[in-house]
Structure 1
Amino acid sequence: MLTIVVTVDVMLGLPAVVYRDFARLHSLLLNVLGFLQQFPRPAGAGTAESAAAAATVLADDAFRATLLRLVAAVVSDGGGRDAGGSSDSSGGGGSAGSNSRASGGGACSPELTLIHETLAPTVCVLNNELLQMLNGRPHVSRATTDFIQKLLRMQTLQCIAREFAAATASVGALTAWQIRDTDRLGGVLHCLLFVVSGGSEEKGLEHAHMRRELAEALRVSGVLEHAARLVLLQLHAAPTGEALSASESVANLAHHFAAVYNKTGRMLMQYMREGGDAVAAAALREVLSGRCARHAALVHGVAALCRADGGPSYGLPEDVLRMATVMASASFGAGLKLYVQLDAAVPVALMMAAGLASPTPPVGVQATVLLLLRLAAWRWCRAA
C-alpha cells in the first residue's frame, strides 16, 4: 500500500517519486469497483447486502485512508483539469469565492496529466458507488461512519463550491474536460448529501450530529448557490449555450442541483415536523432561500411545467425557457427522462422553492400560491 500512497501524494502536489505505481493504483480501484457493482440496488437505494459489501471494503484502514486522500485531491483541484496552465479564478459570494486554485500554476508533466484525467473519474465513481450502497445505512459499521464523517469534515463541500465558482468565472469557454468535471463533482455532492441526510435505521445522537454538520457545511460553503449560478449561466452561455445545454454533463449538473435542492428541502421539512434542531433548520432555510439557488429551482421548474401542461411561463425570457427545455430534453439516462416527465427532483425542487424558501420578489406570496396550485392541478390531472 506504500507505493499507492506515493501516487496519492503525487496527486496532492508533492514531489513525484515514481509514476509506474499509477497503473497499480488504478487497477486496484477498478477491481474494487467491479466487486461493488455486483450488488444491485433498486432505484439507487442501498440494501442490507450492498451496505455489508461497502462495509467490507471500507474496513481496510489503509484503503479507506487512501480513498479519502484521493477524493481530497480530486475535489481540491478539479482532478487536475488545469494541467495546461491556468491557476487562478474568481468566484462570487461566500467563503468559497476566492483563490479557488491550488498554488503553483504552470503546466504539469504529461504523466501527471494522465494520472489526473484517468484517475479522477474512477475515484469519483468509486466514492459515489460506496455512498449509494450505504444510503439509508450509513452506520452499518464503525468504518463506514468514519468514512462518511471524514468526507464531510475534510471540507469536501467547500472544495466543490470553489471548483463551481472557478467554472462560473469562465463558463463561456469551458473545455469538455471542465464540463465533465463539474458533473463529477456534482455527483460527489449529490451522493454525500443523500447518505448523510437520508433516513437511517439508527436515529442516534451520532447521526443527528452528522446531519447538523451537513446543514452547517451547506450554509457556510454556499455550494448550492455556486452550483445554481453555474447552471443559470450555462443557460445564458450564448452563442455556445445550446451546444453546452445539450451535453450530458451540463444537463446532469442541473439534475444534481435539483436533487440536492430537493433533499435539502426534505431535511428542513423533517426538522419542522419533529420540532428538532432550530439551528440546523435555520441553516437549511437560508440555503434554500439563496438568490441563485431559488431562482434556478424556479426557472427549471417552470420550464418543466410549461413542457408538461403548455401553460404560461410567467414572463420567463423566451431564450432562458428554450435553453432550460433543451437541457431537460437531452436524451440520455433514466434520471434525465424522469426530470423531463416531472416524476423526479425538478417538480419537488419547485415546490421547495415556492413553499419553503423565504418568499421574495418577484416571486412573492401570490405568485407562490399560483405556482403551487398549478403544480397540484397538474399532478391531480395526471393521477386521474
Structure 2
Amino acid sequence: MATIQISVKDEVVKWRRYLHENPELSFQEVQTSEYVYNLLKTFSGLEVTRPTKTSVLGVLKGGKQSSEKQLTIAFRADMDALPIQEEANIEFRSKNPGVMHACGHDAHTAMLLGAAKVLSEKRDEIGGEIRFIFQHAEEMPPGGAIELVEKGVVEGVDYAFALHVTPYERSGSICMREGVLCASNDDFEIKVIGYGGHASTPELTVDPIAVGVEIASNIQHIVSRKLPALNSPVISITQFHGGSALNIIPETVVLGGTIRAIDPDIRIKAKNYVNQIVKGITEAHGARYEIVWHEGYESVVNDKEAVRITREVAEGIFRKENVIHVEEPLFGGEDFSAIAQKVPSSMQFIGVHHEDFGEAHPLHHPKFKIDEAALQYGVDYFVGIATELCCK
C-alpha cells in the first residue's frame, strides 16, 4: 500500500492552512482555484485545465502499458467556504470577515492535492487515467458538480471517489456506507399576503402572522401523519419574518424551510403536501400566498462495487476495527450526487476529531475545526485506491 512521504505531509498541512485562511464563497473561488491550478502545474505529468471559471481539473495519464483493460478513475474535492464568521481558536483563522471553511472543504482540497503530487511521481507505475476534480460551489444549489458533469469532466470515467470530513469520529477512522448515503434537499420560501391594520381591530384585517403560524404548525403534521414512519423525510421551518411595530398587524409574513428526503417518491409527496397546506390554509382565511421552491441535490447513492473497493483499501490504511459501518443514511445534502448518478461512485466520511478539542463542533459551526493528522490518512486513502485500480 502506498504511503505519504513526510515532506508531502508537511506540504498538505501548509496548503490546508493557506486555504483555511483565505476562504471564498460558492461561485467566487477565484483565488482558491488559481492557487490549486498553480500548484498542480508544478506536479510532473499532469495536464491541468479550467473546466469553469472557478474549478480545476488535473489529468494524469499513466505511463504503464498493460494487456488488461486500463481504467479511468476520478477523485473529487470541493473548494468553497461558507458565510460564517469564524470563532475557532486557531492561529490560521480566516482572514475574510464573515467567510469560513466550516465544512472542511479546505481539508478535502489539501488531501487531494497531496494525492495528486504523490501519484504524479508514480506515473510510470500507473496504467489508465486519473482525474483530479477540484470543484467549485458545493454549498450553493444547483452546485458545481452538475456543471462539471455537463462539461464532460466524468465522461469515460469507470469509478469516481470522494471524501468528506466528519467531526463526530476521531482522526484515524473512516465511516462507510453502501447505497443511499445522503438525502436530497429542497428549500422553500412562502409569502403569506394578508390585509394589515391596527392591532386593536384585528377583525378588520387578515392577519398573515396567524395564518403563517397555522401553516408552520400544519407542515409539521406531514411527517407525523401523512407519510410512512419508516421512510419519513425531515421537514424544518427555519425562518419566520414579519411585522415592524408592536401595534401594527403587517400586510405580509415570509416563512422559509427545507425538506430532506431519502426516497425520491417521498420527496415529491412531501413537496405536494406543503403546497396543499399553504393553499388550503390561506384560502380558508381569505389570504393569498406565493411559494418559491429551490430544488436542491439528488440523494448520493454509493455503488456496491465502488464501496467494496474503498472498503478494502480503507481496511489496509485505517485497520479494520477503525472502518465504521454507517447504519442509516445522513440527511445532509451533497452535490456529489450529480457525479454518482453518472458514474459508479463511493463517497465516504473521514474522522477528523481529536480528544483534546473537547466538544465536537458540528459542520457549519463557527468553532468547527479538524485534527490535521487526518490529512495523512486522506491522502493515503486516495493513493491506495489509485494503486489498487491503476497499478496492477
**Same topology, TM > 0.5:** no
Larger relative contact order, structure 1 or 2 (CA cutoff 8 Å, min sep 6): 2
Which structure has the highest strand share of the two?
2
Indicate the TM-score class for this superposition, using the shorter chain for normalisation. under 0.3
TM-score with structure 1 setting the length: 0.27
Structure number with larger C-alpha Rg? 2
